[in-house]
Amino acid sequence: MAVDELQAIIQRCQILEEADFKGEDFNLFLVAGQKCLEDGYAAQLLEVIQNEKNKVIIKNMGWNLISPLVRCIFLYEQEDDKKEHCLKILDQLAQLCNPKELFLGLLEQIEQTSGEQVCQTVLLLLQPLQTVLLKLQNKKAYSVGLSLAVIMNQLTPLPVPYTKQQIQEDKFGLCRCCSAVVDFAKPFVNEVVKNTEKLPEYNDMELKGELMKFCMKSLKYPLLTAQLEQLEGIEEHPFRHFAAEIIDILWNIRELMPLVFLHHKGKSSHWENQEFADIEQKNFADSLACLSYLMFVQHFGIDRFPMVFSPSYLLQCNMTHIEVLLKRTEESMLSKGLDLFESCLLRMEDSSLLHQYLELRDFINVPQDLVKVMTLCPMEHMRKKSLNILQLFIDKFDAKGKHTLFRCLLKTSNHAGVEGYIIKNIKDQIHLSLTKECDNIWFTGHHLISLLDLVLSLPEGAETDLLQNSDRIMASLNLLRYLVIKDCESDNQTGVWTILAKVEENFLKPLHVGLNMSKAHYEAEIKNKKENRREAQSSNTICSLTVSGEKMPAMTTEMQLQVLGSALFTFDLIESVLARVEELIEVKIKAAVDEN
């Protein structure tokens, strides 16, 4: 019945001129063709399409069958013969239909699909879409760009497989799609390459621009999110393969090197709406950051990179990208930022980075972002790695650079642990200055005094929270103890004896007062808890604690006593070191008086 209806419409249309086809004819052809597909008469429909007499009809009306055809291909997935006939019909339509009409039909079908069928649809329609695009004469560049944009927009919501198991499973088909999309783009890349030696016409330049947009989108998704380390057991990592192909496209269209050295801040926007301009700039920044990671960490395309740039210049070029990645909270992106930073630093010799680089905004912002990772990132391995990279960054600067960086981090970190770590670094630099033959003016004399003024003080005097600042206070006391032991009053190389009175007034005395107040407070709390312990146990009372608006697990009285006891132990430790420092000062002053 369905085949008879189709034959009747075909016979009716065969006697009409192409210009005489009406909307009704299109609708009748679509309904009859769809019914043939749904009733299992795909073989008969294929015969109609292949019939030379029906060439004009199929050219004008065939594109209407794309939607029902795709549905049936997925429906007949297990029935090989019917599916095979449907695939042949799709191939025939790509060869026979009006390219413009079929292009729109294919693109509409890709755009309308959703969920798990996105990748299946894309994989099915890429080949016919490529065939149609190669046949287009007008607006080819625009059509290629639109196709790639629609495909990437459909793929972007899909989750990127991250673990080895997820990549091997490829649940949504993203890995297969990435490979297929690159193959889809290759003929158009070759077209640009072929015309590179000729005087470029507008369309060729436009096609090059569309391909570059595709590469930039691919760098942001999926490559920025993807895990790109080589995985054991996976012979060809799909995302590493995709990354290599994207780098090859950029190289072939001669855009790789310009992009590597292009700072995203300098890119002008064509948007009048500032919100859209900001979004575009952010996307562009993410893509460039991923490109740098691929080249300098994973070494894709590095064999084409000119080996004429100094390590410090490469670091400078990459600091913008490192800053972009370190501001992200996703593990895959944050780890790329840390890896890129580490890779750039490992190329450099210690003390080779000039202090003038700290006049650049990125060189101040990046260590501050690194501190945030060290202190706020929930992943321990990330925190440890960022600490190691901070030390690498410090080591690469010359003496003045280290001095400047220490001052900056002491003023901006707002974290006692980080401040304690920086103070330990200051102590190490002073030790090098005092033990090496060459005189390092930045960690002796008046330059050092400017640092000591920051270090040997309490942020809020006697009211300072000693428990919160215990790491910083212990590091400061250890530094002061070291200075008193190593630097005689008669030599005073570090200048510590010059500012001793100020240190006692601003640091040691307030610390004594603060310790006495803190110990008295905590001892009273412990006494109070112990007195109320029996009552708390009988009523099974527990204490709740809220941190940053989030309720923490309840604490029993015993747990509270443990916390209070630990705080008292910390105060005792600070007090013992403080007593030792004051004792050393007294001995040194007495020795100097006796000598005189």
pLDDT tens, 90-131? 999 999 889 999 999 999 999 999 888 999 999 999 999 999
Secondary structure of residue 397 in the 3-state scheme: strand
Question: In terms of residue numbers, what domain contains 466?
Answer: 398-532+554-595
CA distance 308 to 563: 58
pLDDT at 508: 95
Structure tokens at 567: 């705080």
Q: For 556, phi and psi rounded to 5 degrees?
A: -80, 170
Instruction: Give the model's pLDDT for residue 431.
Output: 93
pLDDT of residue 82: 84
Asked whether residue 86 is domain-assigned, the answer is: no
Q: Which region among 206-210, 287-291, 477-481, 587-591 has the lowest average model confidence (pLDDT)? A: 587-591
Q: What b/e readout covers 116-137, taking b as 16+ CB neighbours within 10 angstroms? A: ebbbbbbebbbbbbbbbbebee
Does the reported pTM lie above 0.95? no
Q: How many whole angstroms separate alpha carbon 463 and alpha carbon 469?
A: 11
The mean pLDDT value for 22-48 works out to: 78
pLDDT at 116 (0 to 100): 85
pLDDT band at 19 (very low <50, low <70, confident <90, very high): low
Judge whether 162 lies within some domain.
no
Alpha helices in 197-237 (DSSP H): 202-218
- Band of pLDDT at residue 542, cut at 50, 70 and 90: low
Q: How many domains does the chain have?
A: 1
> Which pLDDT score, from 0 to 100, does residue 548 have?
40
What is the per-residue pLDDT for 280? 64
- CA–CA distances in Å: residue 174 to residues 107, 123, 157, 226: 18, 10, 11, 11
Counting residues of the chain whose pLDDT is more than 70, the rounded percentage is: 87
Q: Per the structure block, which two tokens stand in for 208?
A: 């090059």
Residues 6+ apart with CB under 8 A from 493: 433, 434, 444, 445, 487
**pLDDT given at position 204:** 62
Check pLDDT > 70 for residue 70. yes
* Residue 540 pLDDT level (bands cut at 50, 70, 90): low
Mean pLDDT of the chain: 87
Domain contains 588 = yes
Q: How confident is the model at residue 267, as a pLDDT?
A: 47
Q: What is the pLDDT of residue 427?
A: 96
* pLDDT at position 236: 87
Domain contains 439: yes
Mean pLDDT of 11-17: 63
Residues 230-270 pLDDT 10s: 888 788 899 999 999 999 999 999 899 888 876 544 444 45
pLDDT at 300: 95
Greatest pairwise CA separation for the chain in angstroms: 125
Assigned domain for 463 exists: yes
Mean pLDDT confidence for 218-232: 93
Do 90 and 82 form a contact (C-beta atoms < 8 A)? no
Please give the pLDDT value at position 535.
62
The number of C-alpha atoms within 13 Å of 32 and in the hemisphere containing its C-beta is 21
Q: Could you tell me which of 488, 498, 489, 486 has the C-alpha nearest to residue 456?
A: 498
- Any domain includes 438: yes
Judged against a pLDDT cut of 90, whether residue 385 lies above it is answered with yes
Task: Note whether 366 and 323 are within 8 A (CB).
Answer: yes
Q: What would the mean pLDDT of 268-294 be, rounded to a whole number?
A: 74
CA distance 347 to 91: 53
pLDDT, residue 203, reads 47
Please, are residues 470 and 416 in contact by the beta-carbon 8 Å criterion?
Answer: yes
Cross-strand bridge partners of residue 401: none
Cis peptide before 200 (omega within 30 of 0): no
Candidate ranges 78-92, 201-215, 254-268, 463-477; pick with highest mean pLDDT: 463-477
Binning pLDDT at 50, 70 and 90, where does residue 51 land?
confident
Does a structural domain hold residue 304? Answer: no
Whether the CB-CB separation of 340 and 362 falls below 8 Å is answered with no
CB 367 within 8 A of CB 348: no
Classified as helix, coil or strand, 411 is helix
Q: Determine what percent of the chain is predicted with pLDDT higher than 90.
A: 58
**550 φ/ψ angles, rounded to the nearest 5 degrees:** -110, 125
DSSP characters over 35-85: HHHHTT-HHHHHHHHH-GGGHHHHHHHGGGGHHHHHHHHHHTTT-HHHHHH
Task: Tell whether the model's pLDDT for residue 21 goes beyond 60.
Answer: yes
* Per-residue confidence (pLDDT) for residue 547, from 0 to 100: 43
How confident is the model over 166-179, as pLDDT tens digits? 999 999 999 999 99
Task: State pLDDT tens for residues 297-323.
Answer: 999 999 988 888 999 999 999 999 999
Assess whether pLDDT exceeds 60 at residue 216: yes
> Within a domain: residue 407?
yes
Residue 563 pLDDT grade (very low, low, confident, very high; cuts 50, 70, 90): confident
Average pLDDT over residues 565-588: 91
